[in-house]
Amino acid sequence: MKLIRGQSLFVDILIWGFLILTALLILAPIIFMFTASLMPARDIVKMPYPWIPQGLYLNNYEQAVRGNDGSYIFPRNILNSFIVAGLVSVTTVLISALTGYGLAKFPFRGRNLVFLIIMATMMIPFEAIMIPLYLVATSLRIQNTYTGLILPFLTNAFGIFLMRQYLITFPDEILDAARIDGSGELSIFWRIILPNSAPAIATLSILTFRSQWDNLLWPLLIAQSEEMKTIPLYIVKFAAEKHTDEGAMMAAAAIASIPILILFLTLSKYFVSGASLYSSRKG
Amino acid sequence: MNRILNRGIEHKKARWGWFFVLPSLVFFSIFSFYPIINAFYTSLFRKRLLSLRPPTFVGLDNYEYLLKSPDFWNSIKATFIFTLGTFIPIVICSLLLAAFIMSRKRFQKLFQMAFYSPAVLSSVVAATIWLLIFDPRGLANQGMNFLLGTVGTDYKWLASANMVRFSTILVYFWKYIGYFTIIYITGLASIPQSLHEAARIDGANGWKDFWYITIPLLKPTTVLVSIMSMLQCLKTFSTQYLFTQSGAPLEPINVITLNIYNTAIRDHNIGRASSMSVILFVIMLFFTWVQFRASRSGGEVDYM
């Protein structure tokens, strides 16, 4: 045993070095975003890049919020992102929990088929159905509204899968006891199932929030007026404008990232458990 | 008596079961199944956005047009270059990173978080950051000049066709490597430690243990990671969209999704965009099926 350890000291250092270097390389663009957001443009394009801002140059943030046309529409777009991502998280959790509970705890004829049909929707990429969905939204006259931004994402197969897997091991005795006490099925769902699914709900709502925060394609189709746009749309437009200053671009990117990075740093456990959920399915 | 009562309860339970799944079924019918069927249907018509004229049935004309269109084949090519160039390195590197992290006794969580953090950012934010890094005066050129010992060379990250392809691949690789590393870590953690110990006792060194124990037992995870990353790459959109909006050449990175978007929204050609959507859908189904088959052929791994 000792021999192996002695041999691998060199390998040990090599692996540590490699991991630390990779971590720094991966973090570098994020560090670049934050440092550049605090520098005047002439420092950002300096060669070599200075990495440490000389003081806090907050003009960038001001310009990002003001916009090139001085319309101050970015705060509204940020609010829209919060509204859409928040509402979608709530509906996704509720509907997924409802369906997951039904699939996990209520034997009915055709249950496996229903589960299969729902899982099959994972195979339908949003990119392939966005045009028909857009036509549906136009005929419902919900383009350029919050309803339109939210409606196609009320729930998803992944959420239902997650809730079903979580609830399938929930003890039946508790449910039966509640039934004998005279609780209705809906009140059992509301008062027993939901409060006891906190970890799964936390994972699902965080993943949903993140993916809606990131959503570009659907708002691009559906949000036409500046007032209804979300953060990604604002950033695309802002980055494409000729006279946008590099620092202001990074400030806008930083503003868009701060809420999600705070979530990540405080609740990283749920982000990680969401990512690893897929692979635990087999084991 | 008891049986009848039981049946009554089961009946009631079945009704509640349907009640609970019904909202989702309605939702998926309207927002998943109807649109995909509608895409198939519309792909058989000449239909224009905002046009008052009723769509005319043209059979497979849209498909015929696409199969003859160099622009469409260019999109197929761009998509496949991007997908192969991204998902193969992701599968290999995320496995290696996961193995390296798991070989350390300390700071596992810290490394996982560091590697995962780009995946948390919006894809638009990621693309914006790299847009500046790829600036002629940006970090990418500085880094390359340092590594290759050149002075002041501009590698034209966003200007030359091959480089702009490579740039989009790099952005995607950077963004998702940590995500798949975490999936691999879960897979690695599920391999019983006793197997590694047994291999050691039989005289296997670290490398042999990795090659003959870890890799074969990780096969389910590898299949999962390769399917997920490949599907993710086939529907890439944001990076390419933002880069072209900010002045990068369209042709080398005109991936299928971008082409669908432009055909429908810019050219108002709904019929043709729908047939492209159908082709994308079929391609994704096909490759998922191929990878599932490939994973079955070697026999199921069972170590429990």
pTM for the model:
0.90
**Contact across the interface for A29 and B20, Cβ inside 8 Å:** no
- Residue B31 one-letter amino acid: F
| B interface test, pick of A9, A26, A163, A281 with most B CB neighbours within 10 Å | A26
Asked if residue A38 and residue A146 are part of one domain, the reply reads no
The torsion defined by the Cα of A104, A105, A111 and A115, in degrees rounded to 10, comes to -20
pLDDT at B279: 95
Whether A280 maps to a domain, the answer reads: no
- Distance CA(B168)–CA(B252), nearest Å, equals 10
Asked if residue A117 and residue A203 are part of one domain, the reply reads yes
Whether A220 maps to a domain, the answer reads: yes
**Contact across the interface for A246 and B135, Cβ inside 8 Å:** yes
Asked if residue A85 and residue A210 are part of one domain, the reply reads yes
B99 neighbourhood in chain A, CB within 8 Å: none
Provide the number of structural domains found in chain A: 2
Asked if residue A96 and residue A215 are part of one domain, the reply reads yes
Whether A88 contacts A137, CB under 8 Å? no
Asked if residue A237 and residue A99 are part of one domain, the reply reads yes
Provide the number of structural domains found in chain B: 1
**Contact across the interface for A127 and B237, Cβ inside 8 Å:** yes
Beta strands in chain B (DSSP E): 45-46, 56-57
Asked if residue A195 and residue A83 are part of one domain, the reply reads yes
Whether B121 contacts A30, CB under 8 Å? yes
Range of the domain at B225: 85-252
Among candidate residues B291, B159, B296, the one with its CA nearest the CA of residue B234: B291
Whether B206 maps to a domain, the answer reads: yes
- Interface confidence (ipTM) of the complex: 0.90
Whether B263 contacts B222, CB under 8 Å? no
Asked if residue A180 and residue A92 are part of one domain, the reply reads yes
pLDDT at A26: 96
| B interface test, pick of A131, A217, A272 with most B CB neighbours within 10 Å | A131
Asked if residue A130 and residue A19 are part of one domain, the reply reads no
Asked if residue A168 and residue A101 are part of one domain, the reply reads yes
Among candidate residues A200, A206, A209, the one with its CA nearest the CA of residue A86: A209
A210 neighbourhood in chain B, CB within 8 Å: 120
Among candidate residues A85, A125, A111, the one with its CA nearest the CA of residue A164: A111
* CA distance to partner chain A, nearest, from residue B186 (Å): 6
Sequential pLDDT tens for chain B (304 residues): 566 667 777 888 889 999 999 999 999 999 999 999 999 999 998 888 877 778 888 889 999 999 999 999 999 999 999 999 999 999 999 999 999 998 888 888 899 999 999 999 999 999 999 999 998 888 998 889 889 988 888 888 998 999 999 999 999 999 999 999 999 998 888 888 888 888 888 877 777 888 888 888 888 888 888 988 999 999 999 999 999 998 899 999 999 999 999 999 899 999 999 999 999 999 999 988 887 787 765 544 444 3
CATH code, domain carrying A197: 1.10.3720.10
Asked if residue A214 and residue A161 are part of one domain, the reply reads yes
**Contact across the interface for B142 and A103, Cβ inside 8 Å:** no
**Contact across the interface for B139 and A22, Cβ inside 8 Å:** no
**Contact across the interface for A99 and B123, Cβ inside 8 Å:** no
Whether A238 maps to a domain, the answer reads: yes
Region of B153 (left: φ > 0; alpha: ψ -120 to 50; beta: rest) is beta
CATH code, domain carrying B162: 1.10.3720.10
Q: Does residue B269 sit in helix, strand or coil? A: strand
Whether A27 maps to a domain, the answer reads: yes
Asked if residue A219 and residue A85 are part of one domain, the reply reads yes
**Backbone dihedral angles phi then psi of residue B221, each to the nearest 5 degrees:** -65, -40
Range of the domain at A38: 2-61
Whether B268 maps to a domain, the answer reads: no
pLDDT along chain A (283 residues), means of 10: 54 90 95 94 85 89 91 95 97 96 92 93 90 91 94 94 92 92 91 93 93 94 94 93 86 96 91 69 38
Whether A85 maps to a domain, the answer reads: yes
User: 3-state DSSP: chain B helix, strand, coil percent, rounded to 5?
Assistant: 75, 0, 20
- Residue A1 one-letter amino acid: M
pLDDT at A283: 31
